[in-house]
């Protein structure tokens, strides 16, 4: 029997930003739904939120899919959080650090992502960490704090993205337009969530006819449209 040999790892070539502090602006608040995560003690399912920041002082050149030429865009870094406002959660700690105050339960629950988070400037500290699964290094947002006195952040370049699937089944409408504009690697995560699957299953079911629709249909059948 031939001994199985795993395929060679595909080398990924990209340059990481140096570790350190950067002036940034939040441009993404994206609900990933329930995600299965690996821990030393085993698997755990956690509702997950992705916060994304653009770093306008660090521009990189990419190929423009529309023109085929090159264009410059700001570097973007992100971090996934367990989506809970529990007083000991990382997200609660980050919000307190970022706003420079300790939020009360009432204050933290009233924070509006569109009005209070997206577009908000920050001083972010990033470090390099090595992935246990791939062995590659990646950027991690280590801290988010207010800009120091005298610091200014350039005007926003990347459009803001807000995507939320609701806490309860069909609590809010699934925003297909925003979902389709998300990068593939984010969409590939969202499709794994039970929230996405339930919404899509509901969309595939026949819609119940309302009373007004029924009256209109019967009138058209009786008298013609």
Stretch 79-90: mean pLDDT, rounded?
94
Q: What is the mean pLDDT of the chain?
A: 85
Stretch 197-210: mean pLDDT, rounded?
68
pLDDT of residue 100: 95
Stretch 8-23: mean pLDDT, rounded?
74
What is the reported pTM?
A: 0.80
Residue-level length of the chain: 225
Q: What pLDDT digit, counting tens, does each position of 170-190 carry?
A: 545 688 999 999 999 999 999
Could you write out the DSSP letters of every residue in 42-96? EEEEEEEEEEEEEEEEEEEEEE-TTTSSEEEEEEEEEEEEE----TTSHHHHHHH
Q: Which residue has the tokens 């013609």?
A: 224
Please tell me which residue, 210 or 161, carries the higher pLDDT value. 161
3-class secondary structure, 140: strand
CA distance 12 to 221: 63
4: confidence class by pLDDT, cuts 50, 70, 90? low
199: confidence class by pLDDT, cuts 50, 70, 90? confident
Express as a percent the part of the chain with pLDDT over 70.
Answer: 80
Q: What pLDDT digit, counting tens, does each position of 26-51 carry?
A: 999 999 999 998 777 778 899 999 99
- Annotated domain spans of the chain: 20-204
Q: What is the DSSP letter of 170?
A: T
CB count within 10 Å of CB 123 equals 17
Is 80 exceeded by the pLDDT of residue 54?
A: yes
Nearest in space to 167 (alpha carbons), one of 198, 192, 205: 198
pLDDT of residue 12: 47
On whether the CB atoms of residues 122 and 53 are closer than 8 A, the answer is: yes
- Angstrom CA distances, 131 to 18, 42, 51, stand at 17, 17, 19
Please tell me which residue, 150 or 66, carries the higher pLDDT value. 150
Please tell me which residue, 70 or 6, carries the higher pLDDT value. 70
3-class secondary structure, 163: strand
Is 80 exceeded by the pLDDT of residue 115?
A: yes
CA distance 80 to 35: 11
Q: Residue 40 — φ and ψ, nearest 5°?
A: -60, -30
């Amino acid at each position: 029997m031939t001994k199985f040999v795993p395929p060679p790892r595909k080398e990924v070539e990209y340059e990481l930003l140096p570790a350190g502090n950067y002036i940034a602006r939040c441009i993404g608040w994206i609900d990933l739904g329930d995600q299965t995560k690996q821990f030393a003690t085993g698997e755990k399912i956690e509702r997950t939120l992705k916060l994304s920041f653009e770093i306008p002082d660090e521009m990189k050149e990419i190929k423009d899919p529309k023109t085929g030429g090159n264009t410059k865009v700001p570097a973007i870094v992100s971090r996934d959080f367990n989506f809970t406002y529990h007083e000991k959660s990382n997200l609660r700690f980050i919000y307190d650090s970022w706003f420079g105050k300790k939020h009360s339960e009432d204050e933290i629950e009233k924070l509006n992502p569109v009005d209070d988070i997206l577009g908000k400037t920050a001083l972010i500290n990033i470090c390099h960490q090595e992935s246990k699964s791939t062995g590659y290094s990646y950027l991690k947002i280590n801290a988010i704090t207010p800009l120091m006195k005298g610091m200014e952040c350039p005007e926003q370049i990347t459009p803001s993205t807000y995507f939320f699937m609701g806490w309860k089944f069909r609590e809010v409408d699934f925003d297909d337009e925003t979902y389709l504009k998300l990068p593939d690697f984010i969409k590939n995560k969202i499709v794994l969530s039970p929230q996405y699957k339930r919404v899509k299953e509901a969309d595939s079911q026949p819609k119940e006819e309302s009373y007004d629709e029924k009256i209109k249909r019967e009138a058209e059948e009786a008298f013609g449209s």
